[in-house]
Amino acid sequence: MNYFRTAILLAGLTALFLAIGYLIGGTTGMIVALAVALATNLFAYWNSDKLVLRMYGAQEVDRRTAPEFHGLVEQLAARAGLPMPRVYVIDTPQPNAFATGRDPEHAAVAATTGILRALSTEELAGVMAHELAHVKNRDTLIMTITATIAGAIGMLANFALFFGAGRGNGEGGNPLGAVGGILIAILAPIAAMLVQFAISRSREYEADAEGARICGRPLWLASALGKLETAAKRIPNAAAEHNPATAHLFIVNPLHGHGADNLFSTHPSMENRIRRLRGMAGVAGPWG
């Protein structure tokens, strides 16, 4: 059901992108918007992992430089039936982690120094299993495409405000005129953001469930999430604050001021996530 919902939301986001192109420039505008969407997604497909890892100053580690952490990821990847991803560490005190890469063969997982210090081995296993679940479910590609289209919608909306609003209603102009251009500029980015956040929350729930199955202990991840939520609220992540568009990548929201499970949240509420994991533990038997 989560995959069907994600497909519908992605289709809606793409349709919104094309509709904005049409409203700005008619049929020609829609074709140009489609070309832009294809170009931006192609660029993101090949380069998003490198960009985000560089953005956070992530350093790759191996068996020699981080034997315990690297070995843990290696064991979990084998349990998940995945190729071994590249493993990175980010030097920041906020405990957090994310996965990136266009497919399981080109994936990377990153953990902060804060999370390596804050969690037990079992809790860290739960977190990294969650990140490997994102890789297995190809969420890293889905969220990259989602973020790219949402960003492109914002770009088109600005174009509508500054260039399209004053044009006529002909084939080459904005059919809605000046008022339409203003409405597009205001409402389109909000709509794109809401769809992006809805997709992100849906994929987090699925990764929690799959991650619990990979590590075999739902309560390991549940315990980790509780600690991470508390720590993320009091320990800032400067790089994330400067790049809020990447917040959805992390296992818990790295930004200060984030709230509950609502339309404007990149992540589901922690209470709901932990409740679901505890439910899995209760159904499966005595875990943890």
Query: Within 10 A of 175 (CB to CB), how many other CB atoms are there?
Result: 17
Query: In this prediction, what percent of the chain has a pLDDT beyond 70?
Result: 85
- Average pLDDT for residues 58-78, to the nearest whole number? 98
Q: Where are the domains of the chain?
A: 2-284
| Contacts of 67-76 spanning 24+ positions with Cβ under 8 A | 68/121, 69/111, 69/116, 69/124, 72/121, 72/124, 72/125, 72/128, 73/109, 73/128, 73/132, 76/125, 76/128, 76/129, 76/132, 76/214, 76/215
| Residue of 134 and 196 predicted with greater confidence | 134
Per DSSP (E only), the strands in the chain are 59-61, 86-90, 97-100, 108-112
- Average pLDDT for residues 71-85, to the nearest whole number? 98
pLDDT at residue 286 in the model: 38
Q: Say if pTM beats, i.e. exceeds, 0.85.
A: no
Active-site positions read 131
Pairing of strands 59-61, 86-90: antiparallel
Q: How far apart are CA 238 and CA 159, in angstroms?
A: 30
Three-point CA angle 211, 217, 218, nearest 5°: 65
pLDDT at residue 179 in the model: 63
Contact at 8 Å (CB) between 258 and 236?
Answer: no
- Average pLDDT for residues 140-154, to the nearest whole number? 75
- Does residue 47 surpass a pLDDT of 50? yes
Measured in whole angstroms, how far is the alpha carbon of residue 115 from the centre of its chain? 19
pLDDT at residue 176 in the model: 52
| Residue of 61 and 247 predicted with greater confidence | 61
- Average pLDDT for residues 223-249, to the nearest whole number? 89
